[in-house]
Amino acid sequence: MSHVLTTHSTSFALEPPSNPDGSRYDSPLGDDLARHVVNEVSASGERYHFSEVIREDSWSTCDCQIEDAKFYMVVSYFPVDDSEARWVLQFGQRRGFLWFFTKSRPDLLQELVDSVERVLTSDQSRFSETKKLSEAEFLAQN
């Protein structure tokens, strides 16, 4: 992960969802939050091409292509202290097995992070205390 946004929101499912077999995941996965972000950022223009949001074991993820570069966004539930509604959005560039052939695009990654941050900060009825952190800052705080 190279960029992190944290935010508080109770507008998205805080109950762990059910698996197809009826058992429950251990924590909320943030797939509804991820879909909301994808829809809002996609509405800003045709520049962003997102994959379907996928539930993983403890988080949700999707890819985003901008020009010739692919990035990922991971949304996870991260309660700390007394807050039960803290979400973490992590971003990075997918470079694959042959990473040395893939051009690093930190400018486009920053553009994606800034676009998601605008979605979160512009909707104060759903999101509060949104912060942009570097990976090192996030790890130092948690």
Tens digit of each residue's pLDDT (9 = 90 or more) over 59-108: 999 999 999 889 999 999 988 766 678 999 999 987 666 655 667 888 99
Q: What is the pLDDT of residue 84?
A: 75
- How many residues are given for the chain? 142
What percent of the chain clears pLDDT 70, i.e. is strictly above it? 92
Pairing of strands 69-77, 128-134: unpaired
Q: Which two tokens stand for residue 8?
A: 């508080």
Q: What is the mean pLDDT of residues 45-51?
A: 88
What percent of the chain clears pLDDT 90, i.e. is strictly above it? 60
Question: CA–CA separation, 12 vs 90, rounded Å?
Answer: 18
Question: CA–CA separation, 35 vs 54, rounded Å?
Answer: 10
pTM for this one? 0.89
Architecture in CATH for domain 3-141 = 2-Layer Sandwich (3.30)
Q: Which two tokens stand for residue 142?
A: 């948690």
Q: What is the pLDDT of residue 47?
A: 87
Question: CA–CA separation, 80 vs 88, rounded Å?
Answer: 11
